[in-house]
């Protein structure tokens, strides 16, 4: 049975708020409904001051839609705005009867993972990020992931760029992911790497016109409602920039570390600093910087040209006290193999470019182990006498 916007709207008309008359549809709280592969996406607009209080309303709407015949999944987000449509006229919530206040529990010492729920089966999650687009972040992410796999690790990739997913094309994967028991998605796979991307759920040319909360809900589902199995590392290809989606992802996902991708020129390095500072503010370890498009090798003569300058990322890493993971040249075969869906690490595994990516992957993995050891050493021991 196919799912339509009309049937979803009819179902949502049965959802009423906890303290006002009328349903969420008639009150104008439901956004445009997006349906892809029998998965339903929409948001509910509520006043910012009542967003936390009305979380049960969101959950009730999601349960109602998930229960519909033919619906394989639902992502429902609360969009908190100062003007909440019909909600502004709703009466204030009834005051709850006072409850005895429990004695506060002792506060645990702060840690990097505090408040961040891990993903079963995944040992470490690494973010590949950039301060801006156009620096080859996704190409670096996929080749780094394949480099980790070539070095003997079990690897997955989460394509977190909702608006511009690249992994289906970069890894030459087509079709839709299956489901296990109709509840969780089964990741797609190629070249020995498991992959999940919004590009598998919607057509390549479909524009994603979503608000921030819906993006985060989709990312959460692709991370936590996927049957990843046992992985040594999940590589997350982050969206470019340092906006709300990137910051929220860094705050909510238990990232073991982040790799920043930049090109050598000053403008890209300015934006790379923003990415570095974002991860520092949310206490995510910085594994290092990769200088992409570091230099150009002419395919006919082998002559080297520093088109974007050279060494800027290395100098920036030294200035900031961050590890420099390596420099990737700008070559025709990296571009051609990426466009063909056969990244250079698998297309030319014995070539010099594949060697560069494997070495960067090995350095990143070593940095991850160093950070993990440092975090364990910083954890206070509890001794019973």
Q: Evaluate whether 215 touches 245 at the Cβ level (below 8 Å).
A: yes
pLDDT of residue 84: 37
Beta strands in the chain (DSSP E): 34-36, 39-47, 73-81, 122-129, 155-159, 179-180, 184-185, 188-190, 193-197, 231-237, 257-262, 286-291, 296-297, 304-305, 324-327
Q: Evaluate whether 328 touches 291 at the Cβ level (below 8 Å).
A: yes
Kindly tell me if the per-residue pLDDT of 90 is higher than 50: no
Our CA dihedral for 78, 80, 85, 90, rounded to 10 degrees, sits at 90
The span from the CA of 360 to the CA of 326, in Å, is: 6
Kindly tell me if the per-residue pLDDT of 288 is higher than 80: yes
What pLDDT, in 10s, does the model give residues 219-268? Answer: 888 888 899 999 999 999 988 776 666 777 777 788 999 999 988 876 56
Distances 353 to 56, 147, 309 between C-alpha atoms, Å: 51, 11, 19
pLDDT grade, residue 128 (50/70/90)?
very high
pLDDT of residue 35: 78
- For the segment 30-40, the average pLDDT, to the nearest whole number, is 77
Domains, the chain, with CATH or none? 5-83 (3.30.300.130), 122-378 (3.40.50.300)
pLDDT of residue 103: 37
First to last CA, the chain: 65
pLDDT grade, residue 298 (50/70/90)?
confident
The pair of structure tokens assigned to 87 is 């909600």
pLDDT of residue 85: 40
The pair of structure tokens assigned to 113 is 């993972």
- 125-139, 150-164, 291-305: least confidently modelled range: 291-305
- 166-175, 205-214, 290-299: least confidently modelled range: 205-214
What pLDDT, in 10s, does the model give residues 254-275? Answer: 899 999 998 887 656 777 777 7
Ramachandran sector of residue 147 (left: φ over 0; alpha: ψ -120 to 50; beta: rest): alpha
Kindly tell me if the per-residue pLDDT of 131 is higher than 90: no
What pLDDT, in 10s, does the model give residues 340-375? Answer: 999 999 999 999 999 999 999 999 999 999 988 776
Total Cβ atoms within 10 A of residue 265: 16
- 20-34, 80-94, 109-123, 151-165: least confidently modelled range: 80-94
What pLDDT, in 10s, does the model give residues 356-365? Answer: 999 999 999 9
pLDDT of residue 208: 62
pLDDT grade, residue 149 (50/70/90)?
very high
The span from the CA of 313 to the CA of 323, in Å, is: 10
pLDDT of residue 252: 78
Kindly tell me if the per-residue pLDDT of 113 is higher than 60: no
Total Cβ atoms within 10 A of residue 275: 28
pLDDT of residue 209: 60
Half-sphere exposure of 383 (CA within 13 A, CB side): 3
Kindly tell me if the per-residue pLDDT of 134 is higher than 80: no
């Amino acid at each position: 049975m196919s799912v339509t916007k009309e049937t979803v709207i009819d179902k949502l008309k049965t959802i009423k708020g906890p303290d006002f008359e009328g349903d969420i549809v008639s009150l104008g709280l439901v956004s445009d409904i997006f349906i892809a592969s029998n998965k339903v996406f929409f948001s509910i607009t509520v006043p910012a001051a009542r967003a936390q209080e009305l979380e049960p309303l969101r959950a009730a709407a999601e349960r109602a839609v998930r229960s519909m015949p033919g619906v394989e999944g639902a992502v429902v987000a609360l969009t908190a705005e100062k003007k909440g449509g019909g909600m502004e006229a709703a009466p204030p919530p009834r005051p709850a009867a006072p409850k005895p206040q429990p004695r506060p529990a002792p506060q645990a010492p702060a840690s990097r993972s505090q408040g961040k729920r891990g993903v079963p089966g995944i040992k470490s999650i690494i973010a590949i990020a950039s301060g801006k687009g156009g620096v080859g972040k996704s190409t670096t992410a996929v080749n780094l992931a394949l480099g980790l796999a070539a070095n003997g690790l079990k690897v997955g990739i989460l394509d977190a760029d909702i608006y511009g997913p690249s992994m289906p094309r970069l890894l030459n994967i087509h079709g839709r992911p299956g489901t296990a028991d109709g509840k969780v998605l089964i990741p797609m796979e190629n070249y020995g790497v498991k992959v999940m991307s919004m590009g598998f759920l919607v057509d390549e040319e479909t524009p994603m016109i979503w608000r921030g909360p819906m993006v985060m809900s989709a990312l959460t589902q692709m991370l936590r409602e996927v049957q990843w199995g046992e992985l040594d590392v999940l590589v997350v290809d982050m969206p470019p920039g340092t906006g709300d989606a990137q910051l929220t992802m860094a705050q909510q996902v238990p990232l073991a570390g982040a790799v920043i991708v930049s090109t050598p020129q000053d403008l890209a390095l300015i934006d790379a600093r923003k990415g570095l500072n974002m991860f520092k503010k949310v206490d995510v370890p910085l594994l290092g910087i990769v200088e992409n498009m570091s230099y150009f090798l002419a395919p006919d003569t082998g002559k080297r040209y520093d088109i974007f300058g050279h060494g800027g990322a290395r100098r920036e890493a030294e200035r900031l006290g961050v590890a420099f993971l390596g420099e990737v040249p700008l070559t025709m075969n990296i571009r051609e193999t990426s466009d063909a869906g056969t990244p250079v690490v698998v297309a030319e595994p014995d070539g010099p470019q594949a060697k560069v990516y494997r070495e960067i992957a090995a350095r990143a993995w070593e940095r991850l182990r160093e950070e993990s050891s440092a975090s364990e050493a910083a954890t206070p021991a509890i001794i019973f006498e």
